[in-house]
């Protein structure tokens, strides 16, 4: 059993390289942590750190990040295009390998309580860690931003889940949560008729009766004379990529339109790739343990 | 660039666990080496060690293995079902990741020369490291076994490639070579007519005009009421698994027979699985770097 968690904290600092570097160094100094990505945007004045590891190192890395952010960031002076309510705006935890969403929820709550107690920082739990349905969506929690937070917190439905009932003077509040790994997946269709992409998006997405863990929209890709079904696969184990591909192919066939290609944006778990190969090759009794690279790279 | 080599030495000892254990411990003691598998068979009186690592550690592990085998094995007293000419019978090197077959050939020759010089051990190079076409096949080199080796070596066409022109008194001779990674791949067809499996095997194998890097045979699988096209994919990059699957599917369709399933026996490189998913999902611009697990596990 290898229980790892990915953590993707969003920090309200995208302009001072020395602060971003300080956070990056702190994360990398935690033994057992793999820093996967750091993205900073000065217009947004925001940085996103992606790292992963076992539970305890992930906690330690988050605590180090929060400690630096709270010391170095003053939201009263913060300007940027991206909405935010906290110096550390949001901390999502994603279960990897043998870890479950339930364990990510426990991790999110432990981290949230610890931060609330240590820094007198108000905490909201969101997504799968939400304490009520109206708190699931990040954008609803963030509505009003740091500047409107003190007023918002006075409403009973926006009382924080942990910590004081007023914003931290310089660090606002932090949204902490758990969700499953998301695959950003696009399929390109050989037509210029965007209505076909939109019809297919409706056919396959949860909100219109399609796959339960698929969000989808149809777009025109003018420079390529194609249309795109743009998707978020929010649980690739239960609504797998290859099944989504096959249904889009069948639906497109009904309009006489072929799939030209598909595209995975960003990272994808090996499981999802293996499941696709397994499906199309009709493999029997195939195990990830048979993958040579996996045997060679595992640090056991 | 990550240049690794897999090495699969076959040692003529399958009955004395203490000798097998001694070799296993020696391999595992080499820093940088991953021991993937040890298979011993007492009927064959033979053990196969599978390990991998960068060039220098792989050399070191081979040298340790040979040193123990030569000290502990006396072929004059060796009996077993499996043909053999040496205490260390055969040492194949397989390039992994960024390593090439050419580099595996260089490695094989360096190791062969070193063993010849160190132990006065005659060496034959085989497969891609062979010095002549009649020396490519292991079974041709091994013909006559240890017992017939002294006579065989007197023939000019069987003069060793390195070392003395007579067998080592207790260790015989060793066959050293380089080859690409082999995938053992079977496809099951929904018929009991084995002639269909045999016709398809002929259609797809190199020896009858099919894919250049595929060997294939047709078999009846009585207990499942199926037939099997049993294959060795000897270069999955050039004759890929997914293309083999698709051609078998088309050929079987011609007889009205479906593919029931397929099966990978043993290890498969991640590249081959990714290539299959890439093909069937029609991915564009997909890179192995996008695989999360790969990012997390790489020891850099």
- Closest-approach residue (CA) in chain A for B51: A296
Contact B171, B70 (CB under 8 A): yes
The residue with tokens 């076409």 is B133
Is A300's pLDDT higher than 70?
Answer: no
Is A1's pLDDT higher than 80?
Answer: no
Q: Report pLDDT digits (tens) over B234-251.
A: 999 999 999 999 999 999
Q: Report pLDDT digits (tens) over A176-232.
A: 999 999 999 999 999 999 999 999 999 999 999 999 999 999 999 999 999 999 999
Q: Is B132 in the A-facing interface, judged by CB distances under 8 Å?
A: no
Tell me the average pLDDT across A73-89.
96
Residue B32's pLDDT is 94
Q: Is A299 in the B-facing interface, judged by CB distances under 8 Å?
A: yes
Residue A27's pLDDT is 98
> Are A291 and B299 inside 8 Å of each other by CB?
no
B267 vs A36, A97, A295: nearest CB: A295
Tell me the average pLDDT across A160-167.
98
Crossing angle of helices A270-280/B241-253, nearest 10°? Answer: 20
**Minimal C-alpha gap between A298 and chain B (Å):** 6
Q: Which of left, alpha, beta for A282 (phi over 0: left; psi -120 to 50: alpha)?
A: left
**Alpha carbon distance A65, A12 (integer Å):** 12
Tell me the average pLDDT across B67-84.
96
Is B299's pLDDT higher than 60?
Answer: no
A297: which 2 tokens? 């790279």
The residue with tokens 């090439």 is B100
> Are B52 and A267 inside 8 Å of each other by CB?
no
Tell me the average pLDDT across B52-75.
98
- Closest-approach residue (CA) in chain A for B281: A262
The residue with tokens 């034959």 is B124
Q: Report pLDDT digits (tens) over A231-284.
A: 999 999 999 999 999 999 999 999 999 999 999 998 999 999 999 999 999 999
Residue A299's pLDDT is 56
Residues of B in contact with A297 (CB under 8 A): 294, 297-299
**Alpha carbon distance B173, B167 (integer Å):** 6
Residue B296's pLDDT is 85
**Alpha carbon distance A259, A240 (integer Å):** 17
- Partner residues linked to B104 by β-bridges: none
* DSSP H stretches of helix in chain A: 17-28, 55-72, 101-119, 138-142, 149-153, 194-204, 241-253, 270-280, 292-297
Residues of A in contact with B290 (CB under 8 A): 264, 266-268
- Please return the burial class of A11, using the count of CB atoms within 10 Å of its CB with bins 0-12, 13-18 and 19+: buried
Q: Is B245 in the A-facing interface, judged by CB distances under 8 Å?
A: yes
* Structure ipTM: 0.82
Residues of B in contact with A99 (CB under 8 A): none
Residues 86-105 of A with CB under 8 A from B: 96-97
> Are A96 and B292 inside 8 Å of each other by CB?
yes
Torsional sign, CA B209, B211, B213, B219: negative
A8: which 2 tokens? 């993707």
**Alpha carbon distance A242, A233 (integer Å):** 11
Residue A154's pLDDT is 96
> Are B267 and A296 inside 8 Å of each other by CB?
no
Q: Which of A44, A78, A82, A168 is catalytic?
A: A82
**Minimal C-alpha gap between B223 and chain A (Å):** 16
> Are A281 and B245 inside 8 Å of each other by CB?
yes
Q: Is A255 in the B-facing interface, judged by CB distances under 8 Å?
A: no
> 3-state class of A223 per DSSP?
helix
Cβ-defined contacts of B162-165 (< 8 Å, 24+):
B162/B112, B162/B113, B162/B115, B162/B116, B162/B117, B162/B122, B162/B123, B162/B125, B163/B115, B163/B116, B163/B117, B163/B120, B163/B121, B163/B122, B163/B123, B164/B116, B164/B120, B164/B121, B164/B122, B165/B122
- Reference A165, options A182, A181, A184, A152; nearest CA is A152
Residues of B in contact with A96 (CB under 8 A): 292, 296
> Are A261 and B242 inside 8 Å of each other by CB?
no
Tell me the average pLDDT across A104-128.
98
pLDDT band at residue B300 using 50, 70 and 90 as cut-offs: very low
Q: Is B258 in the A-facing interface, judged by CB distances under 8 Å?
A: no
**Alpha carbon distance A150, A167 (integer Å):** 6
Residues 32-51 of A with CB under 8 A from B: 34, 36
| DSSP label of A77 | G
Residue B297's pLDDT is 78
A292 vs B270, B294, B297: nearest CB: B270
Average pLDDT along chain A: 96
Q: Is B44 a catalytic residue?
A: no
**Alpha carbon distance A65, A59 (integer Å):** 10
Residues of A in contact with B241 (CB under 8 A): 281
Average pLDDT along chain B: 96
- Closest-approach residue (CA) in chain B for A268: B291
> Are B270 and A294 inside 8 Å of each other by CB?
yes
- Closest-approach residue (CA) in chain B for A36: B295
Q: Is A274 in the B-facing interface, judged by CB distances under 8 Å?
A: yes
What is the number of other CB atoms lying within 10 angstroms of the CB of residue A42? 14
Q: What is the 3-state secondary structure (H, E, C) of chain B?
A: CCEEEEECCEECCCCCHHHHHHHHHHHHCCCCCEEEEEEEECCCCEEEEEEEECHHHHHHHHHHHHHHHHHHCCHHHCCCCCCCCECEEEEEEEEEECCCHHHHHHHHHHHHHHHHHHHCCCEEEEECCCCCHHHCCHHHHHCCHHHHHHHHHCCHHHCCCECCCCCECCCECEEEEECCCCEEEEEEECCCCHHHHHHHHHHHCHHHCCCCCEEEEEEEEHHHCEEEEEEEECCCCCCCHHHHHHHHHHHHHCCCCCEEEEEEECCECHHHHHHHHHHHCCECCCCHHHEHHHHHHCCC
Burial A212-228 (b: 16+ CB within 10 A, else e): ebbbbebbbbeeeebbb
Is B280's pLDDT higher than 60?
Answer: yes
Q: Which of B82, B114, B242, B279 is catalytic?
A: B82
């Amino acid at each position: 059993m290898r229980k790892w968690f990915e953590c993707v904290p969003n920090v309200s600092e995208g302009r001072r390289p020395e602060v971003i570097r300080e956070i990056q160094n702190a994360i990398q100094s935690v033994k057992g942590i793999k820093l996967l990505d750091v993205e900073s945007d000065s217009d947004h004045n925001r940085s996103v750190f992606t790292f992963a590891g076992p539970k305890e190192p992930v906690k330690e890395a988050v605590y180090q990040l929060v400690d630096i952010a709270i010391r170095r960031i003053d939201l009263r002076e913060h300007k940027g295009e991206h909405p935010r309510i906290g110096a550390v705006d949001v901390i999502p935890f994603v279960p990897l390998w043998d870890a479950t969403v339930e364990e990510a929820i426990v991790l999110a709550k432990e981290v949230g309580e610890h931060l609330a107690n240590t820094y007198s920082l108000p905490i909201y739990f969101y997504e799968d860690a939400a304490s009520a349905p109206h708190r699931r969506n990040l954008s609803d929690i963030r509505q009003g931003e740091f500047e409107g937070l003190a007023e918002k917190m006075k409403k009973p439905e926006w009382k924080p889940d942990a910590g004081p009932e007023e914003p931290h003077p310089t660090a606002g509040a932090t949204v902490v949560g758990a969700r499953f790994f998301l695959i950003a997946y696009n399929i390109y269709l050989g037509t210029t008729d965007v209505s076909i992409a939109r019809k297919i998006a409706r056919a396959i997405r949860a909100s219109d009766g399609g796959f339960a863990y698929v969000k989808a929209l149809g777009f025109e890709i003018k420079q390529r004379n194609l249309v795109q079904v743009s998707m978020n696969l929010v649980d690739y184990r239960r609504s797998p990529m290859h099944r989504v591909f096959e249904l889009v192919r069948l639906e497109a066939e009904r309009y006489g339109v072929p799939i030209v290609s598909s595209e995975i944006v960003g990272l994808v778990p090996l499981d999802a790739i293996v499941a696709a190969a397994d499906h199309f090759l009709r493999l029997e009794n195939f195990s990830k343990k048979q993958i040579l690279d996996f045997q060679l790279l595992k640090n056991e």
